[in-house]
């Protein structure tokens, strides 16, 4: 790809982002707004204060993914949709059927009615209708709705995404800081990950917008290195300037414990979907992002400064006793 084409974006597309206040969504919204696009965030009605981006000129459309009329209103005048909303962050209280499957179907239908030009979707490496793991099955079904929609699409199946407030590295930091001396690892800890920095993912999503070659394509992308889960945990431990002994526990036992803890404390930093993700290797070709986007993604250990000098133990207990997601 010619790097030069990404330096001058077509001006002022109106873009709707579902999940725009989430971890990936916040990074993407910032990149889109900084590039001159008019951004509209789909925001579900909630008693909690929305986590809207500060100092960015964004519009807000209030609608749930189950509100077909609200979605149609949110799509008025929209050229591009980035569909990032998902339920897995809710852990034991996730409704994959309602959000990831039916919600995607509703978004696609509203986008087709509004004659949206293009739809972007962020999925997971390992998405497969035949998967034994609910998240990966749900993502594959959602992908199928998008491919059959008749709308130009780009699907990015990503490796695990990390960055500040990600729930992954921050969850690891909370657990490491709260449990003295040891850290429990599922299985042998040798499952392969390919951590992708959230800012690199947002850059790929932005640059793909200007490249017609990415129309009606699905790409599998990840970071620039393969790391075992043991290595990921050890890197986080070192970044926290502490020491822990890794204790390996068989997946079925750890899963049962996790389900119990999720039901007892809904905001616990570990979820059954974590364990599903770690059950098998989740990796793509190392050269995917350099080859497709002419971008060298950041190494995992180089982008963890946000873990330093924070009260992770206090943060964990505050989040555990926070009200259950509505």
Domain ranges, residue 233 = 172-190+226-281+299-320
- Same domain? For 98 and 13 the reply is yes
Give yes or no: residues 130 and 180 share one domain.
Answer: no
Dist CA 11 CA 59 (whole Å): 17
Hunting for tokens 């996790």 — which residue is that? Answer: 258
Return the CATH number at 252: 3.90.25
DSSP, collapsed to helix, strand or coil, labels residue 176 as: helix
- Bridge partners for 143 per DSSP: none
Dump pLDDT digits (tens) for 151-174. 999 999 999 999 999 989 998 999
- Cα-based angle 150, 32, 138 (whole degrees, multiple of 5): 45
Give pLDDT tens digits for 182-218: 999 999 999 999 999 999 999 999 999 999 999 999 9
**pLDDT of 3 over the 50 cut:** no
Of 10, 71, 66, 12, nearest in space to 42 by CA: 71
Q: Rounded to whole angstroms, how far apart are CA atoms 220 and 81?
A: 20
Whether 67 and 134 share a structural domain: yes
pLDDT at 35 over 70: yes
Please write the tens of the pLDDT for every residue from 64-122. 999 999 999 999 999 999 999 998 866 555 588 899 999 999 999 999 999 999 999 99
Confidence of residue 59 (pLDDT cuts 50, 70, 90): very high
d(CA 307, CA 103): 33
Strands 192-193 and 227-228: antiparallel
- 226 neighbors 297 (Cβ within 8 angstroms): no
Asked whether residue 142 falls in the same domain as residue 25, the answer is yes
DSSP 33-55: HHTT-EEEEEE---SSPP-PPTT
How many domains does the chain fold into?
A: 2
Query: Which pLDDT band, with edges at 50, 70 and 90, does 7 fall under?
Result: very low
Alpha carbon 169 to its chain's center: 13
In whole angstroms, give the CA distance from residue 74 to residue 17.
10
> Is 129 in the same domain as 179?
no
Q: Is residue 107 part of a domain?
A: yes
Query: Could you tell me whether strands 192-193 and 80-83 are parallel, antiparallel, or unpaired per DSSP bridges?
Result: unpaired
Residue 38, pLDDT > 50, answer: yes
């Amino acid at each position: 790809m010619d790097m030069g084409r990404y330096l001058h974006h077509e001006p002022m597309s109106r873009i709707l982002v579902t999940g725009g206040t989430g971890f990936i969504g916040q990074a993407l919204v910032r990149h889109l707004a900084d590039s001159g696009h008019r951004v509209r965030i789909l925001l579900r009605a909630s008693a909690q204060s929305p986590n809207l981006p500060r100092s960015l000129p964004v519009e807000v459309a209030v609608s749930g993914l189950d509100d077909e009329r609200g979605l149609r209103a949110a799509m008025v005048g929209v050229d591009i949709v980035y569909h990032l909303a998902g339920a897995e962050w809710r852990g034991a209280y996730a409704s994959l059927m309602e959000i990831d499957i039916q919600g995607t179907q509703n978004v696609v239908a509203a986008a087709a009615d509004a004659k949206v030009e293009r739809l972007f979707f962020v999925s997971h490496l390992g998405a497969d209708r035949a998967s034994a793991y609910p998240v990966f099955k749900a993502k594959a079904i959602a992908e199928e709705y998008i491919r059959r929609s008749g709308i130009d699409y780009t699907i990015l199946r990503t490796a695990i995404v990390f960055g500040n407030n990600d729930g992954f590295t921050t969850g690891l930091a909370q657990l490491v800081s709260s449990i003295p001396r040891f850290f429990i690892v599922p299985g042998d800890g040798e499952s392969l990950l390919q951590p992708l920095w959230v800012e690199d993912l947002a850059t790929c999503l932005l640059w793909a917008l200007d490249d017609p070659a990415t129309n009606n394509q699905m790409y599998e992308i990840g970071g620039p290195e393969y790391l075992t889960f043991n290595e990921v945990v050890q890197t986080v431990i070192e970044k926290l300037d502490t020491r822990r002994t890794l204790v390996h526990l068989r997946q079925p036992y750890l899963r049962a414990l996790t389900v119990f803890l999720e039901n007892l404390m809904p905001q616990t930093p570990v979820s059954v979907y974590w364990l599903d993700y770690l059950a098998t290797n989740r990796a793509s070709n190392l050269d995917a992002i350099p080859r497709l986007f002419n971008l060298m993604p950041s190494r995992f250990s180089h982008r963890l400064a946000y873990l330093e000098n924070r009260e992770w133990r206090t943060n964990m207990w505050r989040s555990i006793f926070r009200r259950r997601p509505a």
